[in-house]
Structure 1
């Protein structure tokens, strides 16, 4: 580990994070299973605003920052709300509001959907990120920083 290596636009970063909502409730944490996250700056997996908050940090640094919905997981998109026939879920599955189910995509990948309501034979499924529309607070602890070959 190189203590002087700071996070820049092409770093690989190992970090622990705690993700909270504005009311203080926990949304996610790498500490639960003591498995730090690995991310590559600039690979598109994080928003630019999230990455900007990490720039200049180095191993051992701790920082807390707040991101608005647009800077974190985005605002809910009404086009990601779908209405489906209850019969599509199979007779053995008791579909209930609040359930998160995996839905197969045409390419074979899966996407999670949250059951928002069940009314008669109609089921409303929300494919927005569960934290869409939320302001979130990230507490990060940088464990290691390495250069990457991304350019």
Structure 2
């Protein structure tokens, strides 16, 4: 049996649920998630859950916020004057906006409140502060080539 470990390329089918059972994400049936273990391509808790699983195995893994999208941070929520935003930007609760600061990289915020004078923007990831549960099926493990034994040498 092949076991998943650091450096392996794996394919998984998964369903992610919140504590109330709401599905927040799932791999498409015809396109399993493929990633290399240890490269940080998925959240740390998901990666930790697949390490040690055997190809063909299934498991349910609970992932706390510190191993997922972190805690919700109040300092990432800000009320801004409507006049600070371009007139052509639709301001609806639930809409995501891309913000380009004068310095630093672009980032995405969610509109969480709108009134006549202000707009509340939330820079937290939508799943920040949430416990996540994943149902995982490990479909394939391709071992890291450096884990293969060296071919015999001729003397």
Alpha-carbon deviations, 1:13-57, whole Å to 9, x = none? Answer: 1111111111111101112x6321122211123444332221111
User: Is 1:17 aligned to 2:8, yes or no?
Assistant: no
Cα separation, 2, equivalents of 1:75 and 1:116: 18
Highest Rg: 1 or 2?
Answer: 2
1:5 match: 2
1:73 match: 69
Runs (4 or more) in structure 1 with deviation over 4 Å come to 105-110
Conserved? CA contact 1:89–1:95, under 8 Å: no
* Structure 1: gaps spanning 5 or more residues: none
Question: What's the RMSD between the two structures over aligned residues?
Answer: 2.7
User: Is 1:102 aligned to 2:98, yes or no?
Assistant: yes
Cα separation, 2, equivalents of 1:149 and 1:85: 55
Q: TM-score, normalised by structure 2?
A: 0.79
Map of 1:2-151 to 2, 5 A cutoff?
A: 4-31=1-28, 34-104=30-100, 110-148=106-144
Cα separation, 1, equivalents of 2:8 and 2:105: 28
User: How far off its partner does 1:12 sit?
Assistant: 1.4
Cα separation, 2, equivalents of 1:107 and 1:34: 41
Aligned pair in 2 of structure 1 residues 122, 67: CA closer, same or farther (>3 Å)?
A: same
Aligned pair in 2 of structure 1 residues 10, 93: CA closer, same or farther (>3 Å)?
A: same
Report SS of the residue matched to 1:79. Answer: helix
User: How far off its partner does 1:149 sit?
Assistant: 6.3
Cα separation, 1, equivalents of 2:124 and 2:140: 32
Larger fraction in strand: 1
User: How far off its partner does 1:107 sit?
Assistant: 8.4
